[in-house]
Chains A and B, each alone.
Chain A
C-alpha cells in the first residue's frame, strides 16, 4: 500500500552566509502522523521546520504540500495556506500580550474572517479541552508558563489545521507541565487527524511521536521516509 504523503521536503539546501544550515535534507509527513525531529543544537532542525512551513525559502530543493510546490506559490497563496492548513507552537507561547487568552485563541479564526461570537465560542471550547478554561480572561503575562503553552496549543488547533508545527513546545517547561502539554497536544492532534512535526531534543518528548527523524549537520538521517508508505 502506498499512502500519498501530505507534506514532502525534497533535498532541501539552505545557507545563511557562510553557514550551511541544511544540506539535501529530505522528509515526508503522512496525514495524521506525529513525527519527531531530533538532533544536536545547531544541526538545522528549526530551519527544516521553517522550510516545511513555508516561512523560509530553501536555496534549492522543493517543499510540496498535497503535491503542490509551495515555493512556486504567490506570497498571498502561501500565507493563506499557513493560516488555513497549518498551526504553530513555539518554545515560548508567542501569544499577543495585549489580548486575553480567549482573544488569542480566537485570533486565527478572526483572521480567517469568522465572526467574533462564533470565534470566541470555538476558542472557549479549545481552552476547555486543553484544561485552561480558567485563564480565558487573563492576559498572557498573567498566566504560568505551562498554562501559556496550553493556550498556545489551543490557538494552534482552533482552525482544525492539517499540520501542526511545534518547535521545542515543552522547552521552557518542567517535566510535569511538559508531559501535560505533550499529552494534550498529541491527543488532540490524533482526534482531529492532524499531523504534527515536533522538533525536540528530549527523548521523553519524542516518545509521544510515531517515529523520529534525526538531523545532523544539516542532513536528515535514519527513517526520513514514513514506515507506512512501503
Chain B
C-alpha cells in the first residue's frame, strides 16, 4: 500500500501534523500494524521534496512535530491519478495460501485438511471483524467489510480447490 498517496488523501481534507497523520492512518488503514515514526517522517520529507505537500505552519520549539503539512495542487493531482489507476489484480495469486495448497498437492497431502484448519482461523478473524463492524462508525464498517470480503474470497477459493483436488484424487483412484 502506498503510504505517500494515502497521506496525500488524508491531507486533502485539511492540513495535519505528522503525528496526527500517523494516528489517522493507523486507525483507518493499519489497525494491526501501526506505522513507525521513521516511516512517517521519511514519507513526509519525500512528499515535500517532490512538491506534493508544503509546510503550512511551524510552531516554535524543537523536533519534527512542530510542522503542519498541507497538500499542494500537484499533490491533489497525484492522489487523483493514483485513485484512477487500477491495482494489479494478480497480487493475491502469490500469497501464502496458494503456496500451501500447491505444496499440499505436490506432497500428496489432503487439501481438505488444509481447508478445515484455515477455515477455522479465517472465521475466527471474521467474527472479530463482524463484531467490530457492529460497534463501529461508517469508516470502521467499510474497512471491516473490505477485509471480510477478501477473507471470504480466500475461503471460497480454498473450498473450490479442495473440491477439485478431491475430485481429482477420486479419478486417480478409480
Chain A window 194-230, contacts with chain B (Cβ cutoff 8 Å), 1 for yes, 0 for no: 0000000011101111101010100001110000000
Nearest CB of A to B157, in Å: 11
Contact of A222 among B120, B126, B127, B149 (CB under 8 A): B120
Chain B residues within 8 Å of A40, by CB: 159, 163
Does B79 have its Cβ within 8 Å of any Cβ on chain A? no
How far apart are the CA atoms of A206 and B156 in the complex, in Å? 13
Interface SS majority for chain B:
helix
How far apart are the CA atoms of A169 and B119 in the complex, in Å? 21
Instruction: Give the nearest-CB partner of A202 in chain B.
Output: B152
Contact of A204 among B116, B126, B159 (CB under 8 A): B126
How far apart are the CA atoms of A40 and B163 in the complex, in Å? 8
A 69-118 contacts with B by CB, 8 A: none
> Given A183-B134, A216-B112, are A207 and B120 neighbors across the interface (CB < 8 Å)?
no
Q: Is the CB of A207 within 8 A of B116?
A: no
Chain B window 122-164, contacts with chain A (Cβ cutoff 8 Å), 1 for yes, 0 for no: 1100110110001000000000000011011001100100010
How far apart are the CA atoms of A185 and B77 in the complex, in Å? 46
How far apart are the CA atoms of A212 and B127 in the complex, in Å? 11
Q: Is the CB of B152 within 8 A of A204?
A: yes
Q: Is the CB of B120 within 8 A of A203?
A: no
Chain A residues within 8 Å of B156, by CB: 203
How far apart are the CA atoms of A210 and B116 in the complex, in Å? 17
Chain B interface bracket (under 10, 10 to 19, 20 to 34, 35 or more): 10 to 19
Chain A residues within 8 Å of B155, by CB: 203
> Given A183-B134, A216-B112, A221-B116, are A203 and B163 neighbors across the interface (CB < 8 Å)?
no
Contact of B129 among A202, A207, A212, A214 (CB under 8 A): A207
Number of interface residues of A (CB under 8 A): 17
Nearest CB of B to A209, in Å: 8
Q: Is the CB of A207 within 8 A of B112?
A: no
Nearest CB of B to A104, in Å: 28
A 125-184 contacts with B by CB, 8 A: 183
Q: Is the CB of B163 within 8 A of A207?
A: no
How far apart are the CA atoms of A202 and B112 in the complex, in Å? 17
How far apart are the CA atoms of A203 and B115 in the complex, in Å? 13
Q: Is the CB of B120 within 8 A of A204?
A: no
How far apart are the CA atoms of A40 and B151 in the complex, in Å? 18
Chain B residues within 8 Å of A207, by CB: 123, 126-127, 129-130, 148
List 6 tightest A-B contacts by C-beta distance, closest first: A207-B126, A207-B130, A203-B152, A203-B155, A204-B152, A207-B127
A to B CB contacts below 8 Å, 25 in the list: A38-B119, A40-B159, A202-B152, A203-B119, A203-B126, A203-B151, A203-B152, A203-B155, A204-B130, A204-B148, A204-B149, A204-B152, A206-B123, A207-B126, A207-B127, A207-B148, A208-B127, A212-B119, A212-B123, A214-B116, A214-B119, A221-B116, A222-B116, A222-B120, A223-B120
